[in-house]
A and B are shown apart, each in its own frame.
Chain A
Amino acid sequence: MAKYAMAINLDRCQGCRACMEACKIENNTPQAVFWMYVFRTETGEFPDTKMSFMPRPCQHCNNPPCVKVCPVGARFRRGDGIVLTDADRCIGCRYCEVACPYGVNYYNWRTPTEAFAAYDVDFTDPEVEAVTGGVIPPYKNPDLDRPQGDEQRMTAGSAHSVGVMEKCTFCVHRVEKGLEPACAEVCPVHAIHFGDVEDPEGPLSTYLRERAGFQLLEELGTDPSVYYVGGGPPTAETREIERPLTEVQR
């Protein structure tokens, strides 16, 4: 069986956030939800300032604390390493959220209608509905409504149901179709690579072999499937700048 992993090259990342946007459109995530998040940071003082950018999807840990704590097995790890949330089963206890060291979980505080209305775009406008058939958002991706994989389980990509946890799915619906995740696909400078690390001759293994890298918060023993190449992990001095609008609006 394949074992999926991602390599993110910090020596190429421009911090542009296209991956964030592609993730939002592909997965129809509502306002203030960032399954992919890109840190823009700086360290040091003028003029010895250094900047760096770091995209942060779910790390799809091989030893995932979020899976361990889930009381109902809604958070599960597939054999191919993809960690998913079964939206049908999740009871919204948010234990995975507090247990995850990477802060990648997003709870659905609002119904999709409310959450998209917070963008201040009235997608229920009759003239828009005439074109979209009333789906919200108008770019709703039908793939997300399907259960995925051998288990045929839901993957928290679908209805963004209120009261249910969700996070990056490694775009399982795309992977199942043989496509790259949306963030990897869009990256303007090809900083994100996705593939099978179990295949030693595969492009991802080769890519990783040729470059020095690290896993985020390695010391915690979570063993992420996301490998960072180049750059370096954030330190205590790392300050975030240019934060997106992250406030949940009603």
Chain B
Amino acid sequence: MVDLTRRTFIKGSAAVAGGTLAAKRFLFGGFETVEPTNKLLLAQQIREDFVNTTCWIGKQDCGIVARRIDGRVVKLEGLDAHPKNKGTLCPKGVAQIAAVYDPQRVKTPLIRTNGKGGPGEFRAATWDEALELIASKVKPVLEEDPKLFLWQKGRSKAKVFYDTAFVKATGATKLGHGAYCSDAGYRALEYTLGTHAVLHPDFKHSKYILSWGWNITNAGGNKTCWITWPQQMLDAREKNGLKIVHLDPRLRSAGPFADKWVPIKPATDMAFALALCRELIALGHLDEPYLKTYTNSPELVGPDGLIVRGELPADAEEGDQPPALVWDLATGQAVPHAEAQDPALTGEFDVDGVPVKPAFQLFTEHVDPYTPEWASDITGIPADDIREIAAEFGENANIGASIVVDGVEIPYRPVGIMAYHMAQQELGFQTVRAMTMVSMLVGAPGAVGGQLSDFTWKIYKNYAKFENLKVEEGPYDFTLKNSKFFPINTGFPGIVAKVMQDPAKYEVEKLPKVAILHYVNPLTAFPSQKDFLDSYGKFEFVAVLSPWLSETADYFADVVLPTATMEKYEGPSSASDQYIDGKALRLPVMDPLFDSRGEIEIYIDLCEKLGVLYGEDGYIAQINKALPLEDEFALPLDEKPDVRDIFDRWSRMEGLEGGIEYFEKNGVWIKGEVAATKRYGYATDPPFKGALHRLYGESLLVAQRKQQELGADEVYWRDYTAFPTWRTPTFEQSPAEYDLTLISYHLVTHKQSRTSMIPLLTELSGKQRLDMNPETARRLGVGEGDEVVVESHNALTGETRQLRTVVALSEAFRPDVVGMPHHFGGWSPERNKGLGPSPNEIFYTGEGYMVCTADQSFHVKVRVLKG
């Protein structure tokens, strides 16, 4: 047991050190440290140098300069040239230096010596032995059915090497954390606008944004980690007088930056968005040209809910849909959308004797009952506030205005929405769709100052796929892709955990046998802990790659491979802040500490042992394809590559003279400004890259019918509706004594469960707590710092779960809501014990607590009892 050996070693050396210290004390008292010591160092000549690298903690890989003294890293500072962080760092970025030196890192490969499902005992192994063992377990599965080899990752870096190349080389089933993040939002945007992202404004020109559950002062927002958006938001406030309306049950997320705080009840955002849509229509804040030309709003919908289509053109390709028809007011007849001069948005028409309406007419009718008064009851926000926000949003949109950027005239709509984790609610997919529609009504998507989504306007492959949702008959694979349960599904660990517990229920025949867990820690990072405890023991074999013994590794790993932290090559990562584009690489700040190694090297060796390194479809070939490396830059397929050399080739291939030395010298490669014609959907060629925005979700309705046909329960199909349709979320149906809603969020001083072992960060953030309004506390008879038990209730199964934590009071909190930061609840390494529990211990996953696209909701009803 490596643990034991290490401990005795420490004890031994501690005894010696302690003895010397005691003797010194006895002789000199505290004198030892009275004199500022180390004056010796003065005389000594020190060697100082700087290494450029990127942040290893956060998801936007901020540029970093590491200061080294005699090869030892003493400080990390922001790289000035990096557009994402512009010479700055967040607290995590600074503190990771302590993590690098953490003696509790896994120091050598470990092999389990006891049974799984509880605290692990391990023995130290050599890399060769550990990799050999993994290969011997994975190989037979690859031979049987590579899909039963699960490669699961969290927020991994260097996707090309792992997510793409390794998965392709082995044929593994890849499972992202995604659905625990904002995948429902990605799906909503892919579906609605075609972009692979959620929502953010064009800060440079924005004047009015709805900060919708955006954790401004702590976390990400769409697509970045932290620093970038706050910088842009502050600049916009100073330069454009940007006004921020903050919709969030707690004000802390916006801190002082909310011009107006809208303390909305959790998971009622769709109701709010629908009411905004209704008001915008009622007030006439409509960008008709945009709606008519770039959305399917004018398309005619028949009484069956399907879009009325014309004839397939002669040159149609296999699989093409016949063109959707609109009512052309210019000619008074139904014509294909593309051919209409003035498509009608409203009215009722007759096509071949069938009464049809433009989708927009249906939308108007659909949102008509969603009055501000109606929404007020649901959201807890006064109707007048809703009206006011709708009016301000509409007015600030400057409908009809345009502006010249980079010499191109582009519509100017300086209003937008910043939202990311709004996807994390039971109605998440449709909520984000409804929110997007708020922007669509005023023509803000893709406009200057308006609604952006991705950093450049690109159409993601799912846009086309979603035209026809696959809903097949069982049996299904264990991710339930294309199933009647979750027709939109990009892989969700929670569902895999559910399926592993009850495959028959989900019509699954084959469960995954072996797994590699890369950069992921389901046991503490994901809801719900219980589901992972109940399912991960079913793997025949689990290998975990991680610098620390994660909780998941502690309980379920057969083999743990110690990865390096900042001391490795990784990348390339995007350096774009959406205005300036660039690329960066993580360069090792030192040699890997202990016996750890960089992941790329590990996968190269593992692939060699698996026999999939060399040759045409081998890992090397996949790396060549994924990066890509072509022609003289391609890696030879029969030679084990050197990691630095891979990046050197890539750099040269990208045209950087000096190859990787360019990055060693400059840290980041700035490609230049992102052209307006790339960023703004209106300005791309063709506009919006040719995608028609889906106000009307016809294929959702079609999928719903198919689900029903295949006998799926209502829980699975009820939200597959063409327009976002409000219903009371499941969690609200818990009995009345569960009178509070639990929400969770991120702290600026931690990153998921990945940083909880850095005590410097814990020092800054404090331990776990239950945030609540003092009024709530008074009612419960508890005060600041009091211990309480939080008991959650599953409205569908009646199950209850409990955790214990302490109260923290804040007037910046809705009185009917309590909240807990994510990040805590770990027990490995040792020092994480005692920091408090994770809300993921009492959240639920599965039906009722998932989005219809197989994504997680982070809301549950709880009651709080005195501890």
Contact = CB atoms under 8 A, between A and B. Distances in A.
Interface residues of A, number: 77
B78 A159 contact: no
Contact of A26 (B73, B75, B237): B75
Interface string A13-30: 011111011101110000
Which applies to chain A's interface (DSSP): helix, strand, loop or mixed?
loop
A11 B234 CA distance: 8
Contacts of A234: none
A221 interface: no
B270 to A, nearest CB: 22
B245 to A, nearest CB: 14
A117 B470 CA distance: 58
B255 A51 contact: yes
A106 to B, nearest CB: 14
A128 B261 contact: no
Contacts of A149: none
B838 interface: no
B593 interface: yes
Contacts of B226: 16, 188
A20 B74 contact: no
Contacts of A125: 10, 103
Given A121-B98, A186-B78, A16 B91 contact: yes
B748 interface: yes
Contacts of A102: none
A207 interface: no
B810 A241 contact: yes
A14 B748 contact: yes
Given A189-B230, A190-B88, A132 B251 contact: no
A22 B88 CA distance: 10
A12 B216 CA distance: 12
Interface in A121-154: 121-128, 131-133, 135, 137-142, 145-146, 154
B69 interface: yes
A111 to B, nearest CB: 5
A139 B97 contact: yes
Nearest to A187: B88
B38 interface: yes
Interface in B24-50: 30, 32-39, 41-42, 46
Interface in A189-233: 189-190, 231
A186 B749 CA distance: 14
Interface stretch (A41-49, A66-74, A75-83): A41-49
Nearest to B72: A132
A222 to B, nearest CB: 26
A112 to B, nearest CB: 7
B83 interface: no
A132 B811 contact: no
A21 to B, nearest CB: 4
Contacts of A176: none
A234 to B, nearest CB: 13
B81 interface: no
Contacts of B846: none
B12 to A, nearest CB: 9
B45 to A, nearest CB: 11
27 contacts: A10-B256, A12-B234, A14-B255, A15-B748, A16-B748, A18-B89, A40-B255, A42-B812, A47-B261, A51-B812, A52-B256, A111-B30, A112-B33, A119-B760, A121-B759, A128-B101, A128-B593, A139-B72, A140-B74, A141-B69, A145-B38, A161-B33, A162-B30, A185-B87, A186-B89, A188-B231, A241-B252
Interface of A: 10-12, 14-18, 20-22, 24-26, 31-32, 40, 42, 44-47, 49-53, 87-88, 108, 111-113, 119-128, 131-133, 135, 137-142, 145-146, 154, 158-164, 182, 185-190, 231, 239, 241-245
Given A139-B97, A158-B38, 6 more contacts: A49-B811, A142-B41, A145-B36, A145-B37, A145-B38, A161-B33
